[in-house]
Amino acid sequence: MSGHGPQRLSAKPSSGVASLRALARTATSDDVVGGIRIVRLGQPRERGEGLRIGTVRRPPRGVKKADFAKRDFYDVWLPDLAPTQDLVSFAMHDEWTPARWKTFERKYRGEMRAQTHLLALLAALSHTTNFSVGCYCEDETVCHRSVLRELLREHGAAIA
């Protein structure tokens, strides 16, 4: 990776796919091949985690772009798999209840219908290389990454 910080990939099927495949090949030789890890960005990386993909709308505050990967945020920024700003606002508005979570999950799944090509790509890559996807939320049980885990599994991904 260059010292210029993480790359941003587009949801457009024709752009970014080759870059993601090339970056996915950066897993180290001591990695066990295959599998997606779902992680909290900014937490220390696990051995063999591979490429870290940030599925967040905004980069980390107060961190230079060149330091995103060094500080264990992400190597590649893929905001197209993050909830929209409207859905994030909904999530932050009130305390979670089972009904609010069900509404969030339904809306996020609806947003991800436009990203099936990215979900399918990540699912396919998960069988040949290690990588992780994540966001900043402390509690995965009320975070889009728990739904993303299910969506990736539904697309045939190997989940580590």
- What's the pLDDT tens digit per position in 80-133? 999 999 998 888 888 888 999 999 999 999 999 999 999 999 999 999 999 999
Give residue 29's domain range.
Answer: 7-154
Amino acid residing at 30: D
Instruction: Tell me which residue has tokens 């295959």.
Output: 34
pLDDT of 46 > 70? The answer is yes
CA atoms within 13 A on the CB side of 14: 0
Kindly state the DSSP code that residue 131 receives in the 8-state scheme. Answer: E
Residue 73 lies in a domain: yes
Instruction: Report phi then psi at 26, rounded to 5.
Output: -85, 0
* Mean local confidence (pLDDT), 30-54: 87
Residue 40 lies in a domain: yes
pTM of the model: 0.79
Q: How many domains is the chain partitioned into structurally?
A: 1
Residue 127 lies in a domain: yes
Between CA 22 and CA 128 the distance in angstroms is: 12
Residue 160 lies in a domain: no
Residue 53 lies in a domain: yes
